[in-house]
Chains A and B, each alone.
Chain A
Amino acid sequence: MILLYLETDEAGIAETSLETVALARSLAEAGGGIAIRAVLFGGLPEGVAGQLAAHGVDEVFHVTGAGFEAFSGAAWASALQALRERTGSVVVAAGGSPRGNEVLAHLAARLDVPMAANVVSFAGLAPFVVTRQVVGGAALEEMRLDQRPALFTVAGHSWTARAAVTPGKAEWHEEAPEVAPGDLAARIVSVGQREAVRPGALKRARVVVGAGRGAGGPDGFDGVVELAELLGGALGVSRVVTSLGWRPHHEQVGQTGSRISPELYIPCGISGAIQHWAGCSSSKTILAINTDPEAPMVTKADYAVIGDMHEVVPAIVEELRRRSGA
């Protein structure tokens, strides 16, 4: 049996969680029709039961009550641990999101078993071998998970969320487990409102215009900001740019910044180091603007313009305005 910790957002089950269900279905089929059980926490948007059934989930445990009002990795893991025991699940998985990794790490520590972060596929069932991303996705690691339960998280965008051919029953259980006081020693005391421009906006943007060292300095971003505005998109920058203090960190795309997956990403003056590629490789289409035709970002892109961003970007802005008749 496979037990999944799933996250929700305003729209329903989070995308990374649905991707995790897709991997779990593949694993369940390979194992000869293993049941998939999901654990959800706290307040839920409407329609999640139907969504989970459509994605092939057999049973759902909805955890609420004292100790589950605000997120706590330890409390969440304590509930997962109890449900794991009760259901005899041999695999526990979650999306490779900050919370998915955090909760599974708590569970791994509590059970004293290994945990594989950011798994992209499983290479075999006996022994159970998973392949996971390391070095920001620039390399892969094959890792054996011999102990049970086997714990892992699923790397974002490594699977595609899609409805199951045979829907599940999504049989619903309400749960209100007790939480030990020690598991609430570290706790959230307040949650502030999101500001208008935050990483969430960058992660959700359909178009992201990127800028790197080629911007030349803190005053070199007017063109890319204007282009992003004209396309209704967001600005994303490389780590060099935030390290030099040219732009704020929340605009950073990369291994230690936001991971984006827009319809179109336009990196300007970004060479495409591993650190940056880790954050933008899931973009549907990449149009690189760079003076160096050999830069990794150019060779990995779908389209490229070879030239200085300070000449190319204003010309694109002008062409956009001309065609809009402005």
Chain B
Amino acid sequence: MDVLVCVKRVPDSSSQILLTEDAQAVDGRHVGFTVSPHEECAVELAARLADATGGTATVLTLGPAEAVEQLRNALALGCGAAVHVEADTSRFGPADVAREIAAVVREHEGAGSPYDLVLLGNDAADSGDFQVGIRLAYALGRPVVNGAKVVELADGVATAHVDGPAGAETWSAPLPAVVTVLEGGVEPRYPTIKGRMAARKVQIEQRRPAYEPGGSRRTRLLLPPPEPSTVQVLGKGAEAAPAVVDLFEKLGVR
């Protein structure tokens, strides 16, 4: 089975957030870039599914020239092919991104190399739109399962496990299908030296966007004003224990 997994280059959110001067984007220059935790798990799932079924996992990104770094990383983590739609992502809203992914899927299908499954993260760590995967499914006329932790493929059916509000849900969708992934079902592997060397040799399919983007409807980004610290230090080390238990009693949690 051939699996396409979609990733997005995003600023690393383990550090402080700064905005660009025009307040249109998060300035990642000083913090470094990564992909969302959900997408790390989607890449792992794609690699495992392709391995188990004798197929190929292809990683796709829509992003600037630098996003090739995220593609090479995924190639080092078990993906065998990569597609780069080079574009200024700030001009692309979630509907635009879904349409571009659909264009790649349809073209590969037309060329006789269709994807049985498309995996995406449930939501991107930066824009948090919660909709690209679902819009993609509609653009392709395929079923979609949202928020899966684990996916299995057998007999032309994708079986996905979702943590629902009432318990563990098992979903079934006929292939070809779209599944969006949440972190926590699989442990992403660490890249090996051999994997990194092999990743460097893969020829990345370079593309331009197929459509003029409609845009994100973003007016501007804002940072919530930093609230002045009002922390009350109860003490240092073990000596603070009585003050802590006093606080528990005051809050009525003991």
Contact = CB atoms under 8 A, between A and B. Distances in A.
Nearest to A138: B17
Interface string B219-254: 111111001011111111111111111011001111
Contacts of B38: 256
Interface residues of A, number: 94
Q: How large is the interface on B (under 10, 10 to 19, 20 to 34, 35 or more residues)?
A: 35 or more
Interface in A127-175: 129, 131-136, 138-146, 153
B231 A301 contact: yes
Interface string B126-155: 111111001101110001111100000000
B144 A108 contact: no
A71 B169 CA distance: 10
B170 interface: yes
Interface stretch (A47-55, A59-67, A305-313): A305-313
Given A186-B177, A255-B125, A303-B231, A312 B241 contact: yes
Interface stretch (B50-58, B64-72, B103-111, B158-166): B158-166
Interface stretch (B80-88, B180-188, B201-209): B180-188
Contacts of A274: 13-17
B218 interface: yes
Contact of A105 (B15, B134, B218, B233): B134
Contacts of B166: 191, 194
Contacts of A12: none
Contacts of A194: 166-168
Interface in A60-106: 71, 73-74, 98-99, 101-102, 104-106
B217 interface: yes
Given A135-B17, A143-B219, A256-B37, A304 B241 contact: no
A319 B244 contact: yes
A134 B126 contact: yes
B244 A191 contact: no
Nearest to B136: A109
Most-contacted residue by chain B among A116, A256, A302 (CB, 10 A): A256
B195 interface: no
Given A138-B13, A139-B19, A319-B245, A186 B172 contact: yes
Interface of A: 7, 9, 71, 73-74, 98-99, 101-102, 104-106, 108-110, 112, 114-118, 129, 131-136, 138-146, 153, 182, 185-194, 198-200, 206-207, 231, 233, 239, 242, 245, 249-250, 252, 255-257, 263-264, 273-275, 285, 287-288, 293, 298-308, 311-312, 314-316, 318-320, 323
16 contacts: A73-B134, A102-B134, A105-B135, A106-B138, A109-B135, A110-B138, A112-B95, A136-B125, A141-B127, A146-B217, A192-B169, A252-B184, A256-B184, A305-B236, A307-B238, A312-B244
